[in-house]
């Protein structure tokens, strides 16, 4: 179900916790699985749960509670825009509107070619860099302007 590399990464996470506390690695394990698979189908969540020796339902509770896990397919590039107050004061809503217009999609939608998904995010803890957005959960893009969005999309388009 998961590659050897992913399993090795999960093993490294498990080793951080005391014996018998493998469940503590669930958040990392789901993150690692999602990076490999692009999103988290039910079978993958069940596999991860079995790997950590926890009930599938407990793993599903985690996957559905934290909003960076994707329980439905997303585009190759997921862009999450912060529209919370500090970002909004600095143009965050404009950034979101500009992306919607450029990509021709709304929040929680994916472009027909499967390349881009747009999400609305909540505080990313980088308000001094506002407006900010996240690319595929792990890359923070700061001080976004229309020009910088154009650059980012052009760069991602090529990948």
Partner 1 sequence: MSAHALILAGLDGDRTWRLQDYVARGGYEALRRVIAEKTPPEAVIAELKNSGLRGRGGAGFPTGLKWSFMPRAFPGDKYLVCNSDEGEPGTFKDRDILRYNPHAVIEGMILGAWAMGCTRGYNYIHGEIFEVYQRFEEALAEARAAGLLGQNILGSDFSFELFAHHGYGAYVCGEETALLESLEGKKGQPRFKPPFPAAYGLYGKPTTINNTETFASAPFILRLGGQAFLELGKPNNGGSKIFSVSGHVSRPGNYELRLGTPFAELLEMAGGVRAGRKLKAVIPGGSSSPVLPADLIMDCTLDFDAISKAGSMLGSGAVIVMDETTCMVNALERLSYFYHEESCGQCTPCREGTGWLYRVVHRIEHGLGQPGDLDLLRSVAGNISGRTVCALGDAAAGPVQSFIKHFGDEFAYHIEHKKCLVSPMVQEAGRQIHVSRPC
Interface with partner 1 by CB under 8 A: which residues? 16-18, 21-28, 30-31, 52, 54, 58, 61-62, 64-69, 83-86, 88-91, 94-95, 121-131, 134, 137-140, 142-143, 145-146, 148
Contact between residue 45 and residue 63 where contact means Cβ atoms under 8 Å apart = yes
Smallest distance, partner 1 to C-beta of residue 45, A: 13
* Residue with tokens 């909004």, as numbered in its chain: 88
Smallest distance, partner 1 to C-beta of residue 113, A: 26
Nearer to partner 1, 33 or 103 (CB): 33
Smallest distance, partner 1 to C-beta of residue 42, A: 17
Contact between residue 116 and residue 72 where contact means Cβ atoms under 8 Å apart = no
Distant-in-sequence, close-in-space partners of 151: CB < 8 Å, separation ≥ 6: none
Q: Which residues pair with 121 in a beta bridge?
A: 82
Whether the link from the prior residue into 131 is cis, omega within 30° of 0, is: yes
Nearer to partner 1, 98 or 116 (CB): 98
Nearer to partner 1, 15 or 112 (CB): 15
CA 148/CA 155 separation, integer angstroms: 10
Nearer to partner 1, 65 or 113 (CB): 65
């Amino acid at each position: 179900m998961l590659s050897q590399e992913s399993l090795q990464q999960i093993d490294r996470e498990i080793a951080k916790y005391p014996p018998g506390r493998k469940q503590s690695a669930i958040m990392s394990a789901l993150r690692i699985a999602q990076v490999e698979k692009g999103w988290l189908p039910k079978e993958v969540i069940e596999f991860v749960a079995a790997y950590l020796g926890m009930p599938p339902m407990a793993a599903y509770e985690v996957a559905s509670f934290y909003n960076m896990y994707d329980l439905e397919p997303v585009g190759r590039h997921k862009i999450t825009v912060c529209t919370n107050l500090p970002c909004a004061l600095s143009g965050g809503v404009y950034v979101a509107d500009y992306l919607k217009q450029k990509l021709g999609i709304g929040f929680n939608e994916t472009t027909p070619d499967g390349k881009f998904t747009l999400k609305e995010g909540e505080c990313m803890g980088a308000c001094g860099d506002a407006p900010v957005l996240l690319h595929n959960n792990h890359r923070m893009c700061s001080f976004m302007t229309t020009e910088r969005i154009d650059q980012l999309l052009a760069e991602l388009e090529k990948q």
